[in-house]
Structure formats: structure tokens, C-alpha cells
Structure 1
Amino acid sequence: MDLSLLSGALIVVFAGLFLGSGGWPIKLMKRAKYEHFGFVSILASAFIGPWMVTLLFCPNAMQAYKSVDTAVFIKANLFSMAWGVANILCMKSLMRIGFCLTGGIITGIGVSIGVTLPMVFKGSGLFRNAPAPTSPAGLIVLGGVIMMMLGVIASLLAGVGRDKMLQKAQKISRNFIVSLLMVVLGGILSAGVSFVFIYSQEPIVAAMKSYGAGEIPANFAVWAAGLVAGGLINLIYTAWLMTKNKSWNILCSLKDSGLSIIMGINIMLAIALTGKGMLMLGAFGASVGLGIQQAMQMIGSQSVGFIGGEWHGIYGKPRNQMYASIALLIFAAIIMACGNGCI
């Protein structure tokens, strides 16, 4: 594996760990609930952050945008809209069937679609040359996906076992089929955020560079234009919840709002790093980068849980299953990286 591929792999590893552990500020919040930190963090990550970088570091950014075919922005925002809906379905599913089932199903379905689809329907730019699923490299990467699915299942079982030991097992909604359909749909739509970059980056990046922008600001410009629809869906939903619960005043808490902004910065940087890492991984970067990022994201979130005391006093089978999950996820990431090196 050459230096560029290795650097790309390390960047998506870091991005996944960064995104997975990015929820740590929630543990320090006193009053803020989902609608509060969701509103502020999305505002920071999908709007303020990307647009500040784009407008400050991409010369004549609006002129560059005007030179791009409108269909590119429509396509990007349709994917973004899917991601926005997935976020809402995820939160509603958490309340209906609990964290373990929701997290496991969404991650499993999301990574399967996110890794496989760019092999079949080629992305933009260098992603057009991605190997087919039946190619030797494609089969290796799909093997990594299977390994990752085993890791997701082990994590799910560990979470269920932990909740039983803590006597915190979630009550399952009476309408379980509807809840299950919601979380499955959320998993399908969750890959949309990565597809924003995979299928729209080339024309936007080229336009920004033609006006003098550097590589990194040009990549941010893709997210700035592409996350608008998904960001708006999340802002409208969380604003509606705050209005319904008459809790807008909680945003006045400087500590909680500050922590929410930190969450937003974490999300923005992790998403931007994922895009950059995908490009450095080459033609297969869309599939391999997303797969590695998702595996590391799960490890990052579990690390926060361990450090935060969620596994304090939990031993035996559930803890061993969690260790097995982490090992399987690391192994899956290595397999995917090897598949990328076989092109």
C-alpha cells in the first residue's frame, strides 16, 4: 500500500473515531435534550461551519457555484434529505425499540448499502473507476462488510446483555412491526450523507479550484451546498419539538449550547475528513472509505461508553461480546483496506 493510500486510510480511521466519540459533550449537559443539542449542533455542522470555510477560503464562491449544473445540487440535496429523514427516524426508533436494536440495525443496513452501491452505480470523478462487486477487490471488500456485520451483531448482543444485567431493558413498542420498518428505512436512508460527496464532489470541487480555491476549502464547498436540505429538515423538526415543549429558553444555557457547538464542530470535521480520505484512497475510496469510517465510528462510540462508565460493573458474556465486536470491526477495516490495495 503506497503512502497516499495509507494516509487516506488513516484519515478515514480518524474521522470515524472522531465522529463516533463526538457525542461525549452530551454527558456533560445539564438541561439540554435532543431537540436542543440537535438544533445547535446541526446549525453549526451543516450551515455555519461549512459556509464560513467556503465563503472565507474559496474566492468568488458564489460565482463558482453558478457555473455548476443545477442538477448536481438537486442530486446532492436529495441524498442530504434522505440523511435528514434518517436522523429523525433514528431518534424516534430509539424511543420505541431502544438503543441496541436501533444502532445495530441502522449501522448494519447503512454500511451494506453505503459500501455496495458505489460499486454498482459509480460516483463522480475518480470514483467512476471503482471495481465491480464481483471483481477480486470487490469480493474482498464485501468480505470485510460481512465481517463488519458480525461485529455489529456482537455489539447488539452485548448491549442487550448489558441492559439485562443493569435491569434497564427497553420496553418494546406494541406496534413493533411499524417500529422495525422505521429503523430499517432509517438504515437505508442513513447512507445519504456519504452519497452527497460521492456523487457530487467532482463538478463542485473543479468549479471552486478554477476560481483559485485550495483542495480542502473546495471539499468543504461540496458539503456546504449539499447538506442544506438535510440540515433544514433537522432544524425544522427540532424547532417544532422545542415549540411543542415550550423549551426554547434552554438554548440560553451557555454551557449546554457551547457543548452543542463543540458537537457540531466534531460532526463537521469528521464528515469533511471522511470526504478527503475517500479521495486519497482512490477509485475504490467511496466504498472502502465509508466502510472503514463506519467501523471506526462504532468503536469510537463504544469507547465513549466505556470511559463514561456505561460498562462499569458489567462482566462475563456481555463484556466479552463487546470485546469481540471491537476485534471484528478492526479486522473488517483491515480487510477493506487490503481490498483497496488489490486494485
Structure 2
Amino acid sequence: MLKHTLAAVAATLSMAGSVFAQTDLPFALDWKFEGPAAPYFVAIDNGHFEAADLSVEISAGQGSLDAIPKVATGAFPVGFADINSLIKFLDQNPGAPVTAVMMVYDKPPFAIIGRKSLGVEVPKDLEGRVLGAPPPDGAWAQFPAFAIANDLDVDAITVEPVGFPTREPMLAEGNVAAVTGFSFSSYLNLVRLGVPEEDISTILMADYGLALYGNAIIVNTDFAEANPEVITGFLGAIAAGWKDAIADPASAIESLIERNPAADAELEQRRLELSIDANVATEYALANGMGGIDADRMAKSLEQIAQTYEFQNAPDASLYFTDAYLPDADARMLK
């Protein structure tokens, strides 16, 4: 009897020790709790963060740039943001303690979403029409390079600054002919507003000359340098969450709906699947594991950024991305 009691006490102490050993890690997303955010909640619900001794609290964001200052100031140790915006931020704030450590959107979802009935199907169709663009939008930030790649006469395009909440409604009502946005978000938002799918055109910038990368996991470098094992564990759990979501999108959306009960489960599952197929499970990521980048492609993307952005300092890819915290490739394979 005493032996069983001592064993029970030891087990209780062991469990308590594991709980107390968990590191609290607030994680700042780029946007709302929609389909592409589901894998991060899967990483919680399927125990991947817990297995890495992490207690992760996920916060919604307000755009592709939103998490960058949050992480740079140390308000959040980790976040999710557009790497192109991060590049410009670091150029304007040399030495800021923030960098990308894991590429998630290997093929970025930057897109022009138009309506065929309003005459927009290919890039050149934007000339002579009104384009709605939220100023903080990650896709809008890449538009100048997209315009150069497609030889667009930007003076012939009327740009209407719009807010995120009014972007798709304005397009649905015909007040603009197209909008900038993320392919999987704007497309399905229009569907939800009753725009026929056959009337929607998705002009993915990556299919029209842009070598840019998309959103990545970013870290506060001071925190990462002091806690490298925490970051590596976190990234391994992120990869596991995406792998689970790819294998069972419907189950992943259940995790999302727990955090956002007002969401349309069917719509968000489609949004998740669109992001998987077009942005995450790319040929490169499937072959090499998610998270890494190709040096030649990064160099080309910096050249494209420099076409429309005047660097204050010589661009240096090592300042914007490091693979030092990535777990082994086997731990990052998506299938």
C-alpha cells in the first residue's frame, strides 16, 4: 500500500514538474482566426506544443505587417508576417531584433482579385479601371514590382484606398473592378457575399513574374538567441500542425471553430485547402520539408524589391532569414 502511495506521489510530482517546465510563448498571427490559422490550433489540440514543453497562446492580427513591430519590441517572442514587409522594416530599422526563421507560404498568396463581369481577368485589364487596395495590405505592398513585371501603365490605374472590412464588399457591389489581397481570403469572402465563383478572377502574383516569398514565422532575435531550444521546438510543432491539417483538413477546422464559433466551417475548410494547395504544400516544400528557402530565389526576390524600393542599406539575406532554428528536415516533411 505504501509503495503504491509513494508511486502515486512520485507520478503527481512528475506531472507537476512537466507543467511547471512549460514555457509560455505568445504567438501573434497576421490576421483573423480563419482557415489558414487552423494548423496552429491543431498544434495545440494534438499536443505538439505540449510535447515541446510549450504553452502557446495565439492572438489574431490586423494585416501582414501587424506582427512585425509586436515581435521587434519584444511584446511577442514569435509571430507570423510577410517577409517582404520584414525586409523593408529591417532596412528602415537596422539592428531591430527580429528575423524570419521558418517559411510557411513558400508561394505567396499575394493576388489581384477581380470580376470578369467588370473586365478584369489578366494583369493588363487593370489599366483604365479602379483597383481597391488597403494601405497595410501585404499584396498591395508588392503591387509595384508586379506592375513592372507585367509592364503595366500604373498611371492608367485608379487606386482607391479601402479598409479591410470594406474591400470585398466594394468589389461585390461593383464600386471597384478589382482588389489586392490574399488569394484564399478575398476569393472566398466574395463567394460569401454572393458573387458567383465563375465571375471571380484570381491573378496570383507568383504566376505573373514575382519570385517573392510570402509569410513566415518571425522571432525576436534576443529571445531566440537566449532560448534556441524553445524556438526549435516551436517550429517543429508548427510543422506537425500543418502536417496534421494537410492530412485531415476537416478535423483541423474543428480546432478553428472552437476558437471562432461564428465562422462558417465549410467556407473556412475551403480557405485552408486553398492555402495548402497553392501556398504551403509546394513542390519545393514537399521535397525539402517546409520552412527553408532557396538562396538563388531569395536573391532574385531582393532584386525585385529593389526595383521599387530604395534600400537605405545594402540588402543582406542573412539579416532577414535564418535556418539556424529549424528542426531536421524529417521533422518538417508535410506528408
> For this structure pair, what is the TM-score category when the shorter chain's length is used for normalisation?
under 0.3
Q: TM-score, normalised by structure 2?
A: 0.28
Whichever of the two has the greater Rg, that structure is 2
- Which structure has more strand as a fraction of its residues? 2
Greater RCO (CA < 8 Å, at least 6 residues apart): 1
